[in-house]
Structures are given as structure tokens and as C-alpha cells.
Structure 1
Amino acid sequence: MKSSGADSRPVGWRVWKSRPILLTVALVSLAVMLGADLVSGERIRIGGLLVAVPALSAVFLGPLDVLLLASLTVGAVVWISADRNVLGTANFPVVLATAVLVGAGAVLAARIRARRERQLAKVRKVAEATQRALLRPLPGRLGRVTISSMYLAAEEEAAIGGDLYAAGVDERGDTRVLVGDVQGKGLAAVEVVGLLLSSFRRAVRSGVPLEALPGYLDEGLRDDLVDLEENGAPGTVDSRPVETEFLERFVTAVVVDIADDGGTVRIANCGHPPPLLIRGDRVIPLLPDVPELPLGLGDLGRGGHHVDSYDLALGDILLLYTDGVIEARNVQGAFYPLADRLAHRTRDTPAVLLEDVRNDLTQYTAGLSDDIAMVALQRVA
């Protein structure tokens, strides 16, 4: 499993933002303004701008670095005042106090920012641990198919959202893979991910047939959401029940079963983007014959679930993905044409395919607006 933030900047950008470079830029800026003030004589006085250096440095440097810059700024103010013979004037204490107060405020701001960054780093570690627990790495091969998966977070600070995938082998030896997308974001979406993945894994172990699986998952999800509502409901306001966000959740999902001999793939689609079958130079969207509701909305449907069947030849690749892929936009606002782009990409193995899609997405978009999960499966001998 691969996971990363969407903002994958090049190495040169990270070097430019490193502490040594930023501190050097701040020191050079301070020196340039000091020198400009000293050589400009009485015509131009820019010494008052010196306090901007530690103030702005608090945005990207640590408190010790800002303290150094603040101290140098105070020294520069004294130097300029001595050069202009104004140390004994009534205005000098005001100028000096301004530099000291601005520098002290900058150090305090840098300290607060550094503490919050440490807190954010801890939260991110927890999120990464949660991701590893929920989105377990998929095996490289199950039955007659090789598998590769990838998760891309829309936000650089976020490691997990509402996208999910899982795979297993049922009691008949068929390979079963789930890819889904929880409506909404945040911790509530992550909790729903955990509930659905647990239900799916139980279904695989219990041998629930594919035709019955959407109903099994839907009923279990709705029961779990009701439990969350009842256990987490904050009470009532003005004699009216407070509606929590759990009961509003639903999950678009697609489940594929690949027969033990690898020759047939059966698909149950619950309101999810259609899988793409890559066969030679063709990219074939596997649209469901009968549209179905997402999981969690089964009480609004007709009951039962339609399953589509397709032949799977040696070398065929089946790509499952969430809507974050096809809803990614370029700077002109055009959606990412996944099927069209796949027709011109490398498709040797599932891993190569996903890496190629990732690189192409990075070049195509100005930044992801939604998390992305992708799973690619290839039939092998």
C-alpha cells in the first residue's frame, strides 16, 4: 500500500524551504536593509523596516532563530541611531522599545507556532497508525490475480479520510475485493470506514455470496450507524431531537469477485464509479446493467441486488478507484479523463499502472480536492 499527500513537491522546493536557507535569507535581508540605511544618508531612512525581519521570520523559523534575528535587529537599530547621532534624543527610547517589543512578540509567536506544529505532527502519527490499522496492506497476490493498491490524501497533513479498500479469499477460493468512498470527511467518516471494513471481512470469512453481500453490508452499516447515533447523541434542544451526522452517512462501493480459475469477474456496484477493464489497447468501463443505491440507503431501495459478470483474460487489468480520481480538475476546471488517459499510459503490471496514474494526476491537476483510493488487479496464470 502506498500513501501520500497530494502536494508532492519536488526535492528542490523542500531544500528551498529548509531552515538553513530560510535563516540565511532572513540574515541577508537584515544586512541589506542595514547597509542601505547606512549608505543612504539623510535622504532615505529605512531603519524602521528592520523590525519586519524578525516579525516575518516567526512564520517559518523556530523561536531560537527568531531570537537571534530579533537581537541582531535591536543591535542594528542602535547602530543606525549612533550613525545618525540620535542616541541622546527623546525619540530613541521609543524606537528601541519598538524593536524590543516587536522582537519579543515575534519570538513568542514562533514558539506558539512551533508547539502547534509538534501537536500536528503527533496527530498525523496517530492518523498514520489509524490508516495502517484500517487499510491493511493488500497482499501482492490472491488466487489467480496480482494486486496493487494506492491511497492519496487530498491534504498534506491528512493521512486518511473516507476512502477504503480491502481484499480476501472466500471459502470457495474466489478473490473478493472491496473499494468504497464514505460520504463526508473527518473523524466520523473514518469511523464509518472502520465499521464497513470490519463487516466486509466478517462477510468474507462467513462465505456470504456476492448477491447477498450488498444487503449484508447495508444492513450492518445502518445498524452500526443507529448505534453510533444512540450512543453519541448529545440529547435534545428545545424538546427537539438533535440530528447527528452519523445517520446521514452513506458509502458508494464496488465489490468484485474473481473466480478461483481467474476466468470470470463478477461485480456488485453500489452507486460507485464503474471499474475499468484494461485489455490490450482498450479501456472498457464496466457499467452496471442495473443502477443500485449506495450502502446505507438500502431501506430506500427495491431489495435484492444485481450482479454483473464479465470474462477475464490472461493479462487483463481491472482498475477500481474512488471518485476523487475522475473529479480531479486541471487549472481550466476540466475533470481528469481517466479512461482516455489510460489508453496512452504504461499498463504492464498493476503497480506500474497505479504509479503512472499517480504521476499523471500530479501533472494534470493543480491539487487534489478529494482523497483517492485505487486498486489494480491483473489476471495471471
Structure 2
Amino acid sequence: MLAALAVVGLLLLIDVLSGPGIRIGGLMVGVPAVCAVFLSPVRVLVVAGVTLASVVVAARDNGQLGTANFPVALTAVVLISATSVAAAAVRQRRERELAQSRWVAATTQRTLLKPLPERVGPVNLRSMYLAADKESAVGGDVYAAVRTVDGGARILVGDAEGKGLSAVELGSSLVRAFLRATRTGVPLEQLPGWLDGSLREDITDIALAAPVPAGRAAPTPPLEGFVTAVAAEVSQDGAALRILDLGHPPPLLLRHGEVITLDRQEPALPLGLGDLAEDTHTVGAYRMEIGDILLLYTDGVIEARNAAGEFYPLAERLRRWPSCTCDDLLTAITEDLARHVAAPRGDDVAMVTVQRTV
């Protein structure tokens, strides 16, 4: 505000010193308008009051007070000042609403993305979540892990479409459905259909909960929104690993410095799109040796770009850390990703490491 007042004072000084031949007092009117973009309504009102007084002083010095045009010019100043104050009030209210919305979304996501337990069944677990660097709405990256009914472990990483509260709601629905399905003994082969049905029901409920204008009938909600996901299941003895990939980046298995991409050949639809096509959901079966580390991640990792526009080469970088533990590996990836990215990341990142130790 002090800078704005200084500008008004400077313009008034120039107007007075330049004499009646050159009048630049009209430029003062632009100061409150510019301030509406940055200052609070009260401060804009103060600047507007000082501006109005300065315009009167400049008009008196230039002999304009008695002219027929002066009331018109003064009215214009008052209108522009009032509009500037109103604009600042509207801007401030919207900023508060946006901040509240972001706070709710971030709090919900932090509650949803609690650190995973250090051990589930036969494997050690570590998790990492990184919010987008730029100021944007939070995303729908989620993860979860739970012990299976036969003593093994089942781990999920998912990425809901979009940003903000809608993405957080989708991600939260997925986690709840995943935990419920695993605890009730739903086999991995049947998990996609079970999750898809549950997710589509939640999408419908979310749409029906939206406010409807008075006097209008509630429309039939469209089924919009989807979630890519990958689920990994480790047997009770830790030796058998099964992967279910639903439109998600493929997991990576680290074994003695070798990086193995667990990529299934058959394409699979993300969850929430089960009505578009028939999908058999083939489950990949693999062997997990003692010391192996499985890395599950969201596309925010591999889609991060450097100054040359190159994507982060995750599989290539993993070969640099052949002897890392779960903790060390996530730390190494996070630090290396920060060095790789030239501009602020526009997407969230979620990673989970799963290591067999016995």
C-alpha cells in the first residue's frame, strides 16, 4: 500500500510542478484499479481516498475546480474507486474460498495417505508421497497395504483422474473398496470387477449428492471418472508375487542390480470404465527372491521432465542403486528426481517399495 500511495504522491507532485499546460492527474485514477489486484478492500479504499483528495488538489492547482468538466471527472474517479474496492472484495472472497477448498483437499489427502506399516505379512514396506511443486489442486494419488486372509500381503497404488476434491474422493473410494475386498477374501482375479463395481457406485453417489437448482428435476448422473491402479500380492512365504495392472505404469523389480519391468502384454482398462469393453484382467505371476525390492509408483515419476523435455528414466536410474534398502531407495529416487526436473512438477508423486527379507 505504501508503494501505491507513493505513486499517487509522485503523480500529484509532477502534475503541480508541470503547471496547467500539462495535466497528468488523470493517471492517478489508475492506481486504485491496479491495487484491486493485490491489496485488501480496506487498503484499496485508503488508496482511493488519497487518490480522490489528490485529484481535487491537482484540479485546484490547475484552475479546474470551477469548470463544468470537473464534476464529471470527479464522478468518474469516485466510480472507478468504488469499482476497485468491490473488485478487491470479490477477489479476496474467491481467494479465501479457493484456500479453504485446497485446505480441505490437502487435509483429506494427508489423512488418506498415512505412511504404510513397516511390515505386512512377509514383506517390508515403505511409502513416499510428494505433492506437486507448483501451486495447484492436490491430485488423486493413493496407496494402501493390508494383510490377506491367508497371511500374505496385498499392496495397491492408484492414480485418480483429475485434480482437487473430486480426485481425492475417487482415490478414497478406491482405497476403501480395496481394503474391504482384501479383508473379505476377494481373490486377486476377481478384484477388478469388485473394485470397478464399487467405484462406479461411489461415482454415482457423488454425482447424486451434488446440489440441484430449485425447480429442476435431478438429472441422471453420468458415470464419469476413472482410476488407474496396480495391485501386488505376495504369498505367505514371500516367494510368489502376483501383479494385477489396470492401466497403470508397470511395477519394477530390483534383483541384484538388475531391473525387471513387470509389464503385462494385454491392455487393461482403468477402474471406473468397466462398462466400455470386456476385460479378462490377466494376473501376472512372478518369483520373488530374498532381498528383491518391488517398486510401485504413479506416473508423476516417469512423466517428470528436465530442461530438454526428457522424461525421468526411472528404470535406468534404479540400476545406480543395486544395494539400497526400501528406505534408501525412496530417498535416492526423490533426490534424483528433484535434480532431474527443471521446472516445477505439475503432478503428484506416490511410490511404495516392497522388499522380501526372509
Q: 1:326 aligns with which of 284, 298, 302?
A: 302
CA deviations over 1:232-276 (Å, ceiling 9, x no partner): 8x9xxxxxxx77431x54332101124455555432112211123
Q: What is the DSSP-based 3-state SS (H/G/I as helix, E as strand, rest coil) of the residue aligned with 1:61?
A: coil
CA RMSD, 1 decimal: 3.7
The equivalent residue for 1:18 is none
* CA distance in 1: counterparts of 2:287 and 2:267, whole angstroms: 17
How far residue 349 of structure 1 moved from its aligned partner, in angstroms, is: 1.9
Structure-to-structure mapping, 1:289-368, within 5 angstroms: 289-298=265-274, 300-301=277-278, 303=280, 305-314=282-291, 317-329=293-305, 334-340=310-316, 349-353=328-332, 355-356=334-335, 359-360=338-339, 363-365=341-343, 367-368=345-346
Q: Which moved more, 1:319-328 or 1:76-85?
A: 319-328
What one-letter code is carried by the residue in structure 2 that aligns with 1:288?
R
Give the CA deviation at 1:25: 3.1
Aligned to 1:88: 66
Contact 1:162 1:193 in 2 (8 A): yes
1:181 partnered with 2:162: no
How do residues 1-381 of structure 1 correspond to structure 2 at under 5 angstroms? 23-42=1-20, 44-133=22-111, 135-143=112-120, 144-153=123-132, 156-159=135-138, 161-184=139-162, 189-222=167-200, 244-246=221-223, 248-260=224-236, 262=238, 265-278=241-254, 283-298=259-274, 300-301=277-278, 303=280, 305-314=282-291, 317-329=293-305, 334-340=310-316, 349-353=328-332, 355-356=334-335, 359-360=338-339, 363-365=341-343, 367-368=345-346, 371-379=347-355, 381=357
For 1:309, give the aligned amino acid: Y
SS at structure 2 position matched to 1:73: helix
Stretches of structure 2 lacking an aligned partner (at least 5 in a row): 213-218
Q: 1:28 to 1:279 in 2, by over 3 A?
A: farther
Which residue in 2 is equivalent to 1:4?
none
Distance 1:33 1:312 in 2: 77
Q: Is the 8 A contact 1:281 1:343 kept in 2?
A: yes
Query: What is the TM-score normalised by the length of structure 2?
Result: 0.79
SS of 1:375's partner is strand
Q: What letter is aligned with 1:287?
A: D
* Identity fraction in percent: 44
Shifted more, 122-131 versus 265-274: the winner is 122-131
Task: Check the 8 A contact 2:160/2:171 in 1, yes or no.
Answer: yes
1:64 Cα offset (Å): 1.0
Aligned length: 346
